[in-house]
Amino acid sequence: MLERLKRRWTYLAIAAMLLFLVLIPFDWFLGQYTVLMIFIGIHTMVTVGLCLLMGYTGQVSLGQAAFYGLGAYFSAILSKTYHVNPWLAMLMAAIATGAFAYVIGYPFFRLRGNYLAMATLGLGLIVGILFSQLDRFTGGSMGIREIPPLSIGSFVFNTTLKRYFLVWVFCLVTLLLAQNIVRSRTGRALRAIRGSEAAAESVGINAAQFKVKIFVLGAVFASLAGSLYVHNFFYVNPGPFGFLFSVMVVVMAVIGGLASIWGAIFGTAVVHILSDELLIEFGEWDTIVYGLILVVVMIFVPQGLFVGLRETYEHWRLRHVERRAEP
Amino acid sequence: MSQPILETKVLGKVFGGLTALDKVNLAVEAGKIISVIGPNGAGKTTLFNLIAGVYAPSSGEIYFQGKPLGNAPPHRRAALGVARTFQGVLLFDNMTTMENVMSGQHPRSRYGFLEAALRLPKAHREEETISLKAMRYLNLVGLGMHAQQNALSLPLGQQKILAIARALATEPKLLLLDEPGAGLNALEKQGLGELIRRIRDMGISVILVEHDMDLVMGIAEWVIVLDSGQKIAEGTASQIQKDRRVIAAYLGEEEKVE
């Protein structure tokens, strides 16, 4: 009974969120934030990959920007320089990035904790440097311009409104897939590895293999996000795919709540809205205020805002129910 | 004796310069409760870790159901039918009691990323079997009513029982219990002894490392004594209690008075 009620509330919340997302890009609602929302959608796809890796499996990565960038550059080079169909380019980019993550994953996940963090940090830095130094392919710091848009038949994603919906369909499908994985045998295996690797192995879970697989999945999500980025803005340069973005992904994941899939949207949105919109009021003090907010969140809601809010709500509801039960 | 479920031949393990286990030959009869005892530092846990595949042996070989285990990693041994518990319990603290046991079903189910992500019927079917079996194991050990609780919210005694349920859920042929009685009160120990017997009756061979002699002597059908990495005696509980070398290992050699 309570279970069914809870499920009904969940469906209602999801329906409300979807409606909100559908209405956002219209001018009479929040149209001026459409581009911001496109960024949030794209970056959520990167964040959710890290949530799976860090929040569920307990493995750090400070190099997610590398996969985001690889997706972007593969897509840009294939579709612009080699005139490959953008969808096909996107698919090829995802496969190539996934394969790359797979190959480096095995040696990487022989490392643990701080050493793993260092290795992924190095990966992010090296790949970032390649973007600006391999200028024969990447156009160096000038980047690549006039990347063709995505299209389905004669329907071209040539307006911000159309691209907004494209990005959010991708984003929500990604979240749904991630959510399904988390609530499965695979998800349990991942959480088991985070709980205790020795115990996970003792119940037949091949920890090394699962770590690599989830790393690859996160890389593929990030690669798709990168592809969407270039077909949204038709331009790519090394800037957005550097070390700073890798750190930002960690911040977004942590703020939303590492061990929560829907927290990924939440964290990404909060970070973007804070740094792109609200903190502009503070002028040159914005970085300091931003840092302060992060510190306060980490001290008071270490499990992340989304998880924190959900727990507060459940706590409140429990008390409410108890009070009503009293005669 | 029929084919032993587990055999070790001149099994040895050296850590740096320290010989933790030295030329140990064991043959463990299937369907029995075997206890490995010995003073601290005798090599009991090292033996467990070698059987479970946490360490590779420095010398010798372990045979499970007649086949050498070689360097198979722990997860493969679990799939073959070697399950274990840990001295430090090591429950998954980010899961409920039920989910802990469901994790134990990992090697007995197959569906992976793709089936999970797309929620294919195979995933659904297997997931149903997994939760059904997990509930059965929880009920077997008497933790059914705590299924939805976080694993670490249980008192220590029940946590240790839960760890056994998780190991059982891998559907092992051989179960290694590392000090299951430590930290349990007398009543809980009695329940533990009964549970271990029931596990044996399910056709699962049990090897336990235990310090509590009452528990060991009450349930063990065969006792193996290690001291300083060597097997110094084995036999039934009553034989072991009278063995001079065993008494010497535990209490020290009697000095001759001239």
Specify the number of domains making up chain B. 2
For residues A87-101, give the mean pLDDT: 97
CA distances from B46 to A281, B13, B50, B87, B257 (A): 63, 8, 6, 12, 37
Average pLDDT in chain B: 92
Is the per-residue pLDDT at B256 higher than 70? Answer: no
B 209-238 near A (Cβ less than 8 A): none
| Nearest CA-CA partner of A56 in A308, A306, A258, A209 | A258
Is the per-residue pLDDT at B246 higher than 90? Answer: no
| Domain contains A304 | no
Domain that holds residue A74: 35-269
Distance separating alpha carbons of residues A169 and A192, to the nearest angstrom = 31
Higher pLDDT, A307 or B174: B174
| Domain contains B220 | yes
Is the per-residue pLDDT at A326 higher than 70? Answer: no
Please tell me whether residues B256 and B189 are part of one structural domain: yes
Please tell me whether residues B163 and B193 are part of one structural domain: no
| Domain contains A229 | yes
For the purposes of burial, counting CB atoms within 10 Å of the CB of A278, is it exposed (0-12), middle (13-18) or buried (19 or more)?
Answer: middle
Please tell me whether residues B177 and B151 are part of one structural domain: no
* Residue linked to tokens 């795919």: A241
Domain that holds residue B204: 1-81+173-258
* Residue linked to tokens 């809980």: B188
| DSSP letter string, B136-157 | HHHHHHT-GGGTTSBGGGS-HH
ipTM of the complex as predicted: 0.92
| Residue A204 with chain B: CB contacts under 8 Å | 75-76, 78-79, 106-107, 170
Look at residue B1 in the predicted model and tell me its pLDDT.
53
Mind telling me how many Å the CA of B77 is from chain A's nearest CA?
Answer: 7
Q: How many C-beta atoms lie closer than 10 Å to residue A140's C-beta?
A: 15
For residues A119-137, give the mean pLDDT: 94
DSSP A152: E
Contact A198 B90 (CB under 8 A): yes
Specify the number of domains making up chain A. 1
Look at residue A167 in the predicted model and tell me its pLDDT.
97
Between A184, A206, A207, which is nearest B116 by CB? A184
Top residue of B106, B160, B178 to mutate, by most chain A CBs within 10 Å, is: B106
| Domain contains A133 | yes
Contact A204 B79 (CB under 8 A): yes
Beta strands, E only, chain A? 151-152, 155-156
| Domain contains A66 | yes
Please tell me whether residues B116 and B179 are part of one structural domain: no
| Residue A210 with chain B: CB contacts under 8 Å | none
Final residue belonging to a domain, choices B131, B148, B171: B171
Distance separating alpha carbons of residues B161 and A37, to the nearest angstrom = 50
| Domain contains B87 | no
Distance separating alpha carbons of residues A22 and A288, to the nearest angstrom = 34
Please tell me whether residues B247 and B177 are part of one structural domain: yes
Please tell me whether residues B65 and B122 are part of one structural domain: no
| Domain contains B37 | yes
Look at residue A317 in the predicted model and tell me its pLDDT.
78
Name residue B46's amino acid. T
Residue A288 — very low, low, confident or very high, per pLDDT cuts 50/70/90?
confident
Q: Find residue B36's DSSP bridge partners.
A: B209, B224
Look at residue A312 in the predicted model and tell me its pLDDT.
84
A16 Cβ neighbours under 8 A, 6+ residues apart: none
Say yes or no: B130 contacts chain A, CB-CB below 8 A: yes
Looking at residue B76, which CATH number applies to its domain?
3.40.50.300
| Residue B116 with chain A: CB contacts under 8 Å | 180-181, 183-187
Final residue belonging to a domain, choices B104, B138, B171: B171
DSSP A77: I
Nearest CA in chain B to A214: B113
Contact A202 B74 (CB under 8 A): yes
Look at residue A98 in the predicted model and tell me its pLDDT.
98
Mind telling me how many Å the CA of B133 is from chain A's nearest CA?
Answer: 14
pLDDT tens sequence across B151-196: 999 999 999 999 999 999 999 999 999 999 998 999 999 999 999 9
Top residue of A183, A197, A203, A314 to mutate, by most chain B CBs within 10 Å, is: A203
Average pLDDT in chain A: 91
| Domain contains A1 | no
Contact A186 B113 (CB under 8 A): yes
For the purposes of burial, counting CB atoms within 10 Å of the CB of B16, is it exposed (0-12), middle (13-18) or buried (19 or more)?
Answer: exposed
Look at residue A60 in the predicted model and tell me its pLDDT.
92
Please tell me whether residues B67 and B34 are part of one structural domain: yes
What six digits make up the tokens of B225?
């004594």
Contact B116 A185 (CB under 8 A): yes
Please tell me whether residues B167 and B241 are part of one structural domain: no
Query: Chain A: which residues have CB within 8 Å of chain B?
Result: 177-178, 180-181, 183-189, 191-192, 194-196, 198-207, 213, 217, 259
Do residues B244 and B232 lie in contact, with contact meaning Cβ atoms separated by under 8 Å? no
Between A183, A195, A207, which is nearest B93 by CB? A195
Nearest CA in chain B to A206: B75
For residues A12-35, give the mean pLDDT: 89
| CA dihedral (A303, A307, A309, A315) positive or negative | negative
Distance separating alpha carbons of residues A45 and A23, to the nearest angstrom = 21
For residues B10-26, give the mean pLDDT: 92
Nearest CA in chain A to B86: A199
Name residue B92's amino acid. F
Final residue belonging to a domain, choices B171, B191, B219: B171
| Nearest CA-CA partner of A185 in B120, B175, B153, B54 | B120
Please tell me whether residues B189 and B132 are part of one structural domain: no
Say yes or no: B167 contacts chain A, CB-CB below 8 A: yes
| Domain contains A315 | no
| Domain contains A207 | yes
Please tell me whether residues B177 and B67 are part of one structural domain: yes
pLDDT tens sequence across B76-131: 999 999 999 999 899 999 999 999 999 999 999 999 999 999 999 999 999 999 99
Distance of CA A14 to the CA centre of its chain: 19
* Residue linked to tokens 């072991």: B240
Mind telling me how many Å the CA of B124 is from chain A's nearest CA?
Answer: 9
Distance of CA B115 to the CA centre of its chain: 32
Between B75, B79, B92, which is nearest A191 by CB? B92
Please tell me whether residues B110 and B229 are part of one structural domain: no
Distance separating alpha carbons of residues A81 and A137, to the nearest angstrom = 9
Higher pLDDT, A294 or A182: A182
Look at residue A303 in the predicted model and tell me its pLDDT.
85
Look at residue B258 in the predicted model and tell me its pLDDT.
52
Nearest CA in chain B to A205: B75
* Rounded-to-10 torsion of CA B65, B69, B74, B80: -30
Give kind and range of the element (H or E) at residue B27: strand B18-28
B132 Cβ neighbours under 8 A, 6+ residues apart: none
Residue A1 — very low, low, confident or very high, per pLDDT cuts 50/70/90?
low
Is the per-residue pLDDT at B257 higher than 60? Answer: no
| Domain contains A198 | yes
DSSP A147: P
Beta strands, E only, B29-156? 33-37, 59-64, 67-68, 82-84
Higher pLDDT, A70 or B253: A70
Distance separating alpha carbons of residues B172 and B237, to the nearest angstrom = 25
Please tell me whether residues B106 and B229 are part of one structural domain: no
Say yes or no: B150 contacts chain A, CB-CB below 8 A: no
| Domain contains B86 | no
| CA dihedral (B141, B144, B150, B156) positive or negative | negative
Distance separating alpha carbons of residues A307 and A298, to the nearest angstrom = 13
Is the per-residue pLDDT at A118 higher than 90? Answer: yes
